[in-house]
Structure 1
Amino acid sequence: MGPLEGIKVIDLTSVVMGPYATQFLAEFGADVIKVEAPAGDLVRAIGPARHPGMGPMYLNSNRGKRSITLDLKTPEGRELILDLCRDADVLAYNVRPAAMARLGLSFEVLAGVNPRLIYAGLYGYGQSGPYAARPAYDDLIQGGATIPHLFRLSGGGEPRYVPSAVGDRVVGLAGLAGILAALVARGRTGRGQRVDIPMFETMVQFVLSDHLGGLTYDPPLDGGGYARQLAANRRPLKTADGYICALVYTDEHWRRFLTALGEEGKLSDPRFAGYAGRSVNIDHVYGWMMEVFLTRSSADWQALFEKIDVPVMQMHDFESILSDPHLTAVDFFARVEHPTEGVIRVMRNPVSLSDTPPDLPRPAPRQGEHSREVLREAGLSEARIEDLFAKQVVRGL
């Protein structure tokens, strides 16, 4: 019994941002019904797969859900969505709101069907600004939220994107927070509401919470940016035989670190002596560290940092992370038997609840795997279900 047991979610989202948010809902125990267009979720085709439509990105963002394939562009398909929403708690979508309105599935329409429904939209831009009608993708939002600019400032090279769908996943988590907040509010008021989670505004807040800097003030105190994060030499430290990640951060960290190296004299060097001095001279400080770390192996540095209790972490690659001793001890990576894909590796939900802990949910569904099951639960007769399949309004296994 997860914490969201009994919550029904109609999931119209696709690709990464929306499915990542609704997967958390499913892992917390909600009944998430993934509604896919006949062409299926685009992300099904990304990456290597044992069978078509069951790629790894799809498998890792759609656990715990049931799948129904439905043509929303038909009048009957739209009516089915309205039927599914009559007793639902949440409807989530990640197309532009104008597209939902064209489908006849606006907030006003759905609230008329079910006043308790949480109507959650994850999309590009807030609807009161000039970008409202623009399409949005992770790359575009990273650029608009200054992330490539950070790379240019910190490395002096060409701007680039983070090699991860960081915008999609951060906004997905913000969407999860908004949905859960709306469910709590409904518990007090009995009313559902519209929840809007725009990518652009969410990511600008995410990035500038670190980097607005002196621009926080009026008039500005500087041109923005957090110097330590933008330091050109803030990177994994090259050792005699590889790389390691270490953060000598507080004054006490520096005292223990420099003492262990026999470099106590630097404690009186204004470039090292206090946080303010290190911040102003961060490129010099990190440059010195890069030279020092070349003198010992990664294992030696890790042992030293653990001995003096200064933060350190192995720099993993995609394969070494799978055997990380901590993740092994907490059973983070689990092997499960997928009904069609065989043995697959899944990642457990990292959130722990003492009374209602999330468990490994059902594996990500095949497209339309639960179409008949969902329609039966909605009260449709077998004859009506067969008619919808014959008209290809509904598709499935």
Structure 2
Amino acid sequence: MGALFHRERTGEAQHVEVPMSETLATFLLAEHMDSATFEETPQDFSYARMLVPHRRPIQTADRYITVLPYTNMQWTRFFQAVGLDDMIEYVWVTDADARSRNIGAVYDMVAQIAQTRTTDDWLALMEQADIPAMPVRNLSNLPKDPHLAVTGFFQRIDHPS
């Protein structure tokens, strides 16, 4: 916002850098601080929904992917996209509170379904369903990552020595 304000006042553009690692750490800690902040007697410093075994990168038929349907509508679209329309009739899938109480089982189901398609198939399907999804990159893929290329993350320079 400061850059936009500066442009409005001076007409000059500015470069804005967003520290994503720090942002992600802050975002994740905010989730885990919930019990430590809002529970009268905190049980631990964690958010159970984030710690279930299958809410992490999941194996597809050929690689790994992250898929994160979150809202009731996204869960509905997810199950419709994978051909399990009958799942949207279950309250433990379509109601946020009931889903939270059963989140381990829901993500376990996603992990099982994920193995039926390739990563590229999943990415196309999730883009069509407007559900957040991203392939998992390994170190050898990073220099070829399209997003990192656009941002100029890796730069080739000649060193005098």
TM-score normalized with structure 2 length: 0.75
2:134 aligns with 313
1:230 aligns with 51
- Report matched runs for 1:317-396 at 5 Å: 317-340=138-161
- Report matched runs for 1:122-201 at 5 Å: 170=22
| Gap change, CA 1:317 and 1:228, over 3 Å in 2 | same
Q: Identify which of 14, 17, 36 aligns with 1:215.
A: 36
Q: Identify which of 75, 80, 102 aligns with 1:281.
A: 102
Larger helix share, 1 or 2 = 2
* 2:110 is equivalent to residue 263 of structure 1: no
* 2:74 is equivalent to residue 249 of structure 1: no
Structure-1 separation of matches of 2:125 and 2:27: 34
Equivalent AA in structure 2 for residue 269 of structure 1: Y
Equivalent AA in structure 1 for residue 148 of structure 2: L
CA deviation after TM superposition for structure 1 residue 326, in Å: 2.4
Taking only aligned residues, the RMSD between alpha carbons, in angstroms, comes to: 2.7
1:304 aligns with 125
Equivalent AA in structure 2 for residue 286 of structure 1: Y
Equivalent AA in structure 2 for residue 254 of structure 1: W
CA radius of gyration, larger in: 1
1:245 alignment partner, SS class:
strand
Equivalent AA in structure 1 for residue 70 of structure 2: Y
Residue identity (%): 35
- Report matched runs for 1:10-89 at 5 Å: none
| Gap change, CA 1:273 and 1:206, over 3 Å in 2 | closer
| Gap change, CA 1:301 and 1:206, over 3 Å in 2 | closer
| Gap change, CA 1:217 and 1:239, over 3 Å in 2 | closer
Equivalent AA in structure 2 for residue 294 of structure 1: Q
Structure-1 separation of matches of 2:151 and 2:27: 29
Equivalent AA in structure 2 for residue 283 of structure 1: G
Encode CA deviations 1:57-92: one digit per residue, 9 max, x unaligned: xxxxxxxxxxxxxxxxxxxxxxxxxxxxxxxxxxxx
1:42 aligns with none
1:186 aligns with none
Larger strand share, 1 or 2 = 1
| Gap change, CA 1:212 and 1:287, over 3 Å in 2 | same
Structure-2 separation of matches of 1:252 and 1:207: 23
CA deviation after TM superposition for structure 1 residue 323, in Å: 0.7
Structure-1 separation of matches of 2:92 and 2:140: 39
1:234 alignment partner, SS class:
coil
Encode CA deviations 1:33-67: one digit per residue, 9 max, x unaligned: xxxxxxxxxxxxxxxxxxxxxxxxxxxxxxxxxxx
| Gap change, CA 1:287 and 1:213, over 3 Å in 2 | same
Structure 1 stretch displaced more, 329-338 or 217-226: 217-226
| Unmatched tracts of structure 1, length 5 or more | 1-27, 29-168, 174-202, 341-397
CA contact (8 A) 2:35 2:47 kept: no
1:333 alignment partner, SS class:
coil
Structure-2 separation of matches of 1:326 and 1:223: 37
Equivalent AA in structure 2 for residue 216 of structure 1: T
Structure-1 separation of matches of 2:38 and 2:147: 43
Structure-2 separation of matches of 1:206 and 1:295: 31
